[in-house]
Amino acid sequence: MSLALLTDYYQLSMGYGYWKSGLAERESVFHLFFRRRPFEGGFTIAAGLEAVVDYLDHFQFTKEDLAYLKDYFPSDFLKYLRKMRFKCSVEAVPEGTAVFPYEPLLRIQGPLIQCQILESPLLNLINFPTLIATKAARLCIAAGNDEVMEFGLRRAQGVDGALTASRASYIGGCHATSNVLAGMKYGIPVRGTHSHSWVMAFEDEQKAFQTFAEELPKQTVFLVDTYDTVEGVKRAIEVGKWLKSQDQPFVGIRLDSGDLADLSIKARHLLDQAGFSKTQIIASNELDETLISELKRQGAKIDIWGVGTNLVTAKDQPALDGVYKLSAIRDEEGEWRYTLKLSEQMLKISNPGILQVRRFYRDETRLLDVIYDVAHSVHGDWHVIDPFDPTMQGVVTADTASVDLLVPIYKQGKRVYELPSLISIRERTRSELAHFPVGIKRFLNPHRYFVGMEQHLYEIKVALIKKIRKQQHL
């Protein structure tokens, strides 16, 4: 379905102003990027491109849309919108790519009115999944070789939030979800146990476990903390012995409260002593990457981590500060005029130009990224400047291996990109993180991966800042 009205009112108001003043079809370039590292971490995982493609594939204003807008805009403008078809060129970073502040995740080039109307929906479709994929990747790093399951449906931010979070969590590295609709829609493995209600529905815990084993002999993970955790483990073991006599697996137990480190160690001892060394211990209860790391440091005997609220809501940072800025527009003579958003804070000054990001590496290890202007060809060595500390400069030799991050998605409205499978995106995340220095993956004081600006682009930016300040008498 068309979601053309999934935009802010002021986007349409500006669109009307562009149309009325004759600027609507003026070619322009916008970039979508973020300024701050989420979770104060050292990396971010790009996600949401598939939803962007689905949105743009169906972009148009329907009769129903225009009927709603007739009370807000003149009929001539609505006729213009009715005939509008998406004809922008889009380049984007593939999902599962590690990205960093100020690097464009998308570049949109086309008619000014179309690029403008797309601002709000594109930010909506990129910001949240990128945040959740990053959170999931951090959780998986903390868990090491253990599995991480996403358990967040019941506390997610609405239906769409739950589905988006499940998909993004899988991109970030989670192994499964409890969300059955997400499993069907995206092909994510679905896993689950039972709740405390199941145990409380029976007269005693032993009967609850036994009945569950009889009715679902292939899914025997027992939640053991309804009354007393250690006693619950012992009762689960008794049912496990019955399962063994039936040639059925005793899959695992789940801990959902209490001292998870101490209880998991005690549970592991009881299970091993009873001959169930392959029975897994699953833990849940308000987990995040910091707590998982601490529990592992304490020697917790946990095999699978179920994470819900803190993952699907990104509880410690509920939003990515993605922004979308105009960086170039054709003048009346058809020449590019570069633009930027000025601020008293250097961190909030946007970058001008038609931008691309080149990632340099050696022996598969990522070295640095460089933002550059595609209109300026670099011949020979790359001279790189830190835009926030110009005393930090360097040279990257021409023979250094590299790859450009932004790839073509649409060319003048026609899609040229084939969407990869979700499994391949998830593998991309794993491979990407494996090729970066371990320091950027620390949770406390992570190493800063260097993102510089190509010297020519940096000089353009500085000159433009001076020019604007002079024109505005600043």
Do 333 and 446 lie in one domain? The reply is yes
- 1 in a structural domain: no
Residue 473 pLDDT grade (very low, low, confident, very high; cuts 50, 70, 90): confident
pLDDT of residue 345: 80
Name the band, by pLDDT with cuts 50, 70 and 90, for residue 344.
confident
CATH code at 301? Answer: 3.20.20.70
Residue 474 reports pLDDT greater than 70: no
Of the listed ranges 424-428, 455-459, 469-473, the one predicted with least confidence: 469-473
Same domain, yes or no: 235 and 335: no
Q: Are residues 364 and 466 in the same domain?
A: yes
Is there a single domain that holds both residue 140 and residue 207? yes
The mean pLDDT of 381-400, rounded to a whole number, is 95
Domain boundary among 255, 283, 312: 312
Which residue, chain included where needed, has tokens 């499993």? 183
pLDDT given for residue 235 in this prediction: 98
Per the domain annotation, does 2 fall within a domain?
no
The tens digit of pLDDT for each residue in 221-236 reads 999 999 999 999 999 9
**Could you tell me if residue 3 is inside a domain?**
no
CATH of the domain at 457: 3.20.140.10
CA 12 to each of CA 115, 116, 147: distance values in angstroms, whole numbers, following the listed order: 11, 8, 46
Confidence of residue 2 (pLDDT cuts 50, 70, 90): confident
Helix, strand, or coil here: 336? strand
Q: Is residue 75 part of a domain?
A: yes
pLDDT tens digits for range 412-454: 999 999 999 999 999 999 999 999 999 999 999 999 999 999 9
* Per-residue tokens: 455: 């010297």
Q: What is the reported pLDDT for 181? A: 98
For the stretch 293-329, pLDDT in tens is 999 999 999 999 999 999 999 999 999 999 999 999 9
Per-chain mean pLDDT for the chain: 96
Q: Do 162 and 277 reside in the same domain of the chain?
A: yes
State how far the Cα of 399 lies from the Cα of 206, in Å rounded to an integer.
Answer: 68
Average pLDDT of the residues in 364-381: 95
Copy the structure tokens of residue 125: 């479709």
Q: Give, in order, the Cα–Cα distances in Å from 45 to each of 56, 165, 262, 374, 415.
A: 22, 13, 34, 24, 23
Q: What is the pLDDT of residue 168?
A: 98
> What whole-number percentage of the chain has pLDDT above 90?
96
Asked if residue 460 is part of any domain, the answer here is yes
> 401 and 334, same structural domain?
yes
* Predicted confidence (pLDDT) per residue in 39-68, tens digit: 999 999 999 999 999 999 999 999 999 999
Amino acid residing at 80: Y
pLDDT value at 18 more than 80: yes
Mean pLDDT of the 452-470 span: 95
Digit-coded pLDDT (tens) for 116-174? 999 999 999 999 999 999 999 999 999 999 999 999 999 999 999 999 999 999 999 99
Given 257, 292, 312, the domain boundary residue is 312
At 350, the pLDDT band (50, 70, 90 cuts) reads: very high
Per-residue pLDDT at 367:
97
Q: Quick one: 168 and 190 in the same domain?
A: yes
pTM listed for this prediction: 0.96
Same domain, 126 and 143: no
Domain hosting 390: range is 9-132+317-471
Q: Are residues 67 and 161 in the same domain?
A: no
Q: What is the mean pLDDT of residues 257-273?
A: 98
Q: Within 13 Å of residue 13, how many CA atoms lie on the same side as its CB?
A: 4
Contact 348, 371 (CB under 8 A): no
- 259, 290, 312 - which closes a domain: 312
Q: Kindly state whether residues 322 and 305 are assigned to the same domain.
A: no
Give the residue-averaged pLDDT of 206-235: 97
Residues 282-295 pLDDT 10s: 999 999 999 999 99
- Token pair for residue 44? 């971010």
- Please report whether residue 41 resides in a domain: yes
Sorting pLDDT into bands at 50, 70 and 90, what band is 190? very high
What the block records as the tokens of 212 is 């569950």
302 shares a domain with 334 = no
Residue 343: the pLDDT is 86
Residue 258 lies in a domain: yes
Say if residue 337 is in the same domain as residue 434: yes
If one counts the domains in the chain, the total is 2
Nearest-5° angle of CA 443, CA 448, CA 454?
155
Residues 179, 162 contacting (CB under 8 angstroms): yes
Residue 242 to residues 121, 248, 250: CA-CA distances in angstroms? Answer: 55, 9, 9
